[in-house]
Structure 1
Amino acid sequence: LLGDIVFPTFSISLNAAICFLVRGCVQRGRVRKIVYAIHKLSESYETEAITPWSAHPGHGQIFEKHSGEFSDHVRTSIAINLAYSAIEEMNLQVNSNREKNVWSCNKTFTWNPDVLKDIESRLCAAGIDPASSVVWVVRGAETEVAIHPIRNHSSSYSDGQTVRDNELSLPDAIQACRYLRNYMTAHAFGSDTPRLGPYEVYNVQQVARFLILSKCGVWNVRTVDLSKMNT
């Protein structure tokens, strides 16, 4: 943590939250998978997390982006793996292989039309608009690992220095999570793994959170409204 600013933490009853969330998924079936996704994301938060409040652009960079502690590298990787696995539980990962690469042009990160159509169709089937966008939080000096795809779509509030957040399409954001998991955290660590930190964890968790809440039909639904639904 940079400086002496302390941000609030919060806790919830996980079982109560699951009851709220799965209610919107019952009609679509596959309740077991969404419950697994929720538990995996919860475990990711328990492993390592920063709050959305502390990631607000008004605070700039609050946390150190890198750590020299080996144990921190392991914890960061576990948190990313769990959050991405939550995405996989919902079958909302990007699917590709050697014969069907993600990109039709690797230099420009132009989507392979078949791969893009596949993820967009599964998002639609889950009741999620594939045209949705996600803010990918990037803070401080340019010392972070470059994600793939690389897009120059700065958010409206980015200042190009302390706050360098990017706006990604939902398929791009899911693929960025997949890139971190596949090439940085899921296998033997490489030279770039120690450069991962709390903001990468936050980004993958936020994508998983958006997908879970959207699939359950409660994205942008206030807590007070959820309480009314339970009465």
Structure 2
Amino acid sequence: MGIYRTHLIIDQSDSLKIKKLKIDNAKFILAQEPSNCFWEAKDGRSFGHYMGGRDPEFARKDEIPQVELLIETESKEKAEDLLSIIHGGMLLAYPEPGLTTNFVFLKEYIEDENKWYTKKPFSNYLKRIEHVGFGCQIASLAVKDKKLIYAIEKYKVSLELASFTPKSADPRYGQVFDNYDLKHSYHTRSAFAIVSAFSIIEELGLEIRSSSANPRFLNNETGEWNPKVLKNINDRLTEANIDKKLTFDWIYRGEPTKIELETKPLFGVDSKWIVYHEDVRDKTLTYPEAIHHASYLRNFIASHKFKELTQYISPYDVNNVQLLARQLIIRKMEMWETMMAN
């Protein structure tokens, strides 16, 4: 077994969460942060970063040092794999595009090297990033199920290709992004972001299962479901800890796009917050309805040979499928309430 440093700085709130976790053939260790740069108030309400470090002897009485997350496991490769899942869990808590690639690196823990981190540039390798505790909680559950691991890794890939923060989707801000981008590189990235995100739904076994012999709808214009198909997806959603009463809000901003106008059936009722801004046309859908919309984007717009409509994929189309996949992962893992409480 070896010990590897993640360069992730942990506060006391996350420390308490991580100390409770157990993983087969691996262990989380919380070690003294080597640079003496990262401190927080004992009550956890504030934190400070001291350039060049701070001598513990001169720390204030109401301050405590933060710690670094180490991983003990049998090889560096296994530690890197676990860190990657933790990274995915952090992005599930809050999908920050800047965090998809600008993360941390792993190296073997050598105690004598701690003194390096008291000097630049080594101290800059240490990073305090939010939601590490939640990421570790997600990882401790996901390692038991390869389907969950692949779902999380696909989520990361999708975010790397094209994504924006939840704040940018806040209805108070209206339409933040243009619905059309003329660049072919964007069309390609956004299409594969949708393909990756929808693949998560398939990984979880929550795609809608229909065929020519067992059609999805009895009437495509009105959206009248085939009862057998609807029961099948609802049963699988229930097994995945997703209650039938839960709904999903699909984002529509600005004028209707060509893809929206071509989508049939088009589900949903006006979301309760559309009064916030004239550019907001969001719709509240059931989960089967949302999965259908996601599959329409994947099947007829984003995958295989690109179509004429592919160029009209908007950032909101991508975000909708990513957000749906994100919710399905977290709810299946029964971590939604835990995430909301963080």
Fold similarity call, TM over 0.5: yes
Q: Deviations over 1:168-205 (max 9, x none)?
A: 00110011100100000111111111111210000000
Indicate which of 153, 157, 166 corresponds to 2:269: 153
Do 2:247 and 2:284's aligned partners in 1 also have CA atoms closer than 8 Å?
A: yes
Residue of structure 2 in register with 1:138 after alignment: 252
Give the 3-state SS of the residue equivalent to 2:299 in structure 1.
helix
Do 1:94 and 1:175's aligned partners in 2 also have CA atoms closer than 8 Å?
A: yes
Instruction: Please state if 1:108 is matched with 2:196.
Output: no
- What displacement does 1:54 show? 0.4
Overall identity of the aligned pairs, in %:
35
Give the 3-state SS of the residue equivalent to 1:168 in structure 2.
strand
Counterparts of 1:46-195 in structure 2 under 5 Å?
Answer: 46-146=160-260, 147-159=263-275, 161-195=278-312
Do 2:151 and 2:200's aligned partners in 1 also have CA atoms closer than 8 Å?
A: yes
Q: Say which is worse superposed, 170-179 or 160-169, in terms of deviation.
A: 160-169
Do 1:130 and 1:171's aligned partners in 2 also have CA atoms closer than 8 Å?
A: no
Residue of structure 2 in register with 1:43 after alignment: 157
Q: Deviations over 1:76-124 (max 9, x none)?
A: 1000000000110010111111111110111101111011111111111
- What displacement does 1:36 show? 0.3
Structure 1 residues 166 and 223, CA gap change in structure 2 (3 angstroms) = closer
More strand by share: 2
- Residue type of the partner of 2:332? K
User: What is the number of equivalent residue pairs in this alignment?
Assistant: 215
Q: Distance in 2 between matches of 1:187 and 1:9?
A: 26
Q: Distance in 2 between matches of 1:19 and 1:35?
A: 13
Q: Which runs of 5+ in 2 are unaligned?
A: 1-95, 107-131
Normalised by the length of structure 1, the TM-score is: 0.85
Give the 3-state SS of the residue equivalent to 1:164 in structure 2.
coil
- What displacement does 1:64 show? 1.0
Q: Deviations over 1:132-169 (max 9, x none)?
A: 10000000112241234313501011148400000000
Q: Which runs of 5+ in 1 are unaligned?
A: 1-7, 226-231
Residue of structure 2 in register with 1:5 after alignment: none
- Residue type of the partner of 1:151? F
User: Between Structure 1 and Structure 2, whose CA radius of gyration is higher?
Assistant: 2
Residue of structure 2 in register with 1:4 after alignment: none
